[in-house]
Amino acid sequence: MTARIRISILFVVVLFLSGCSARTSRPEPHLVWPPAPETPRIRFVKTISSSEDVEEKKWTDHVKAFLFGASSSANLVKPYAVFATSSGRVYVADSGWRKVLVFDEGQKRFSMIGVDGPGALSGPLGVTADEAGRVYVTDTVHRKAFVYDAGGQFLFSFGDSNQMQHPVGVAVNNALKRVYVVDARKHQVFVYDFEGKFLFDFGGRGTEDGKFNFPANLFIDAQGKIYITDMNFRVQIFDADGKFQSKFGGVGTGFGQFSMPKGVGVDSRGHIYVVDARFNNVQIFDPAGRLLLFFGEFGGKKGQFWLPAGLSVDKQDRIYVADQYNHRINVFQYLEPAEVSAASDDASGSFRFFEEAGASMPQ
């Protein structure tokens, strides 16, 4: 390609980009649940699927991509776990990449954790961070957990193959400085301090209260309560010392029942969010375990899922869901109930309870 032709093409591209930037588009209508005429409680915000979703690109980068087909973007492959911080940083444990991908929306930067060296990851399936910014990642291949600083530098690891078999979910209690790790094959939860010292464990295989059947994910709320999903098709709630408190759910296709519960999280108002990978949706419960609402369905469009897994709720009540086979993170926003009448029968003023008799979840 001669220099003259390249300059001509460059001129055309610049004109095209300038036209695109000046053009105004009609905003898309909000995707919300429940739909009108009900008062919306959940709104779809966006998806995160590539480093381009956070990185600021110069117009010259677009020109290079147009002329030479060059692209340095990193796309999600199979995201399993997600954790979002209050500063706008989103950590994604991607089993396809075998790394943790970091989308820093505040700094407009993208990076990876666990690329090489002693902290290199092979099978990350859980990720979280403490208030100091340290990042904790479970690895099912190495059978232990890795700890990194806020900049992604490896610090140390804890646990080993003599203790863990298949560590998946991980969460921290900042007040007690504890790390909780779910082991799916041992059907237990292992508890460590922030320096990696083993403290205690709880659980064991079974169907009784306090027992598990292939537990997967967990969440710890501001009061230290622990929420754990497993293939007993339920959510169990424990105190910070692993003492059983309560449970809800069951196997089936009715509202409030589960087929493959995965990610779990709690927002600032105490609503409990549970991902169901087979239903391809998220169910929302009140603290007593009563179903309030569900959103999502199978598909690849906005707000839809294909085998969703991990879930994270940030301090702004944004809900992040790892959408594995759509290769993305779906982001939703819980809507504050300021517009709800004070005369509402719902004490929280946030949702209307399901009352359909005999209704079932979408297959």
> Looking at 105-109, 179-183, 229-233, which range is the least confident one?
105-109
What was the pLDDT predicted at 27? 52
Give yes or no for a cis peptide into 34 (omega within 30° of 0): yes
Q: Which two tokens stand for residue 320?
A: 């992040």
The pLDDT of residue 174 is above 50: yes
| CA-based nearest residue to 89, from 358, 341, 318 | 318
The whole-model pTM stands at: 0.86
CA 9, distance to chain mean position in Å, is 42
pLDDT in tens, 281-311: 999 999 999 999 999 999 999 999 999 999 9
What was the pLDDT predicted at 316? 94
What was the pLDDT predicted at 250? 95
DSSP 340: S
pLDDT in tens, 134-173: 999 999 999 999 999 999 999 999 998 889 999 999 999 9
6 vs 32 pLDDT, higher one: 32
| Phi, psi of 130, rounded to the nearest 5 degrees | -95, 180
pLDDT in tens, 201-225: 999 999 999 999 999 999 999 999 9
* Rounded-to-integer distance, Cα 125 and Cα 141, Å: 10
Q: What is the mean pLDDT of residues 88-113?
A: 96
Q: Which amino acid is at 279?
A: F
Q: What is the mean pLDDT of residues 60-77?
A: 63
What was the pLDDT predicted at 352? 53
3-class secondary structure, 54: coil
Q: What is the mean pLDDT of residues 45-55?
A: 95
pLDDT bracket for residue 177 (50, 70, 90): very high
Other beta carbons within 10 angstroms of residue 260's beta carbon come to 18
The pLDDT of residue 17 is above 60: no
Assign residue 206 a region (left: φ > 0; alpha: ψ between -120 and 50; beta: otherwise): left
Q: Which two tokens stand for residue 352?
A: 């209307």
Mean of all residue pLDDT scores within the chain: 86
> Looking at 52-66, 135-149, 151-165, 253-267, which range is the least confident one?
52-66
* Rounded-to-integer distance, Cα 203 and Cα 120, Å: 30
| CA-based nearest residue to 213, from 231, 234, 198 | 231
Report the share of the chain in percent with pLDDT over 90.
75
Number of residues that this document lists for the chain: 363
| CA-based nearest residue to 169, from 294, 257, 83 | 83
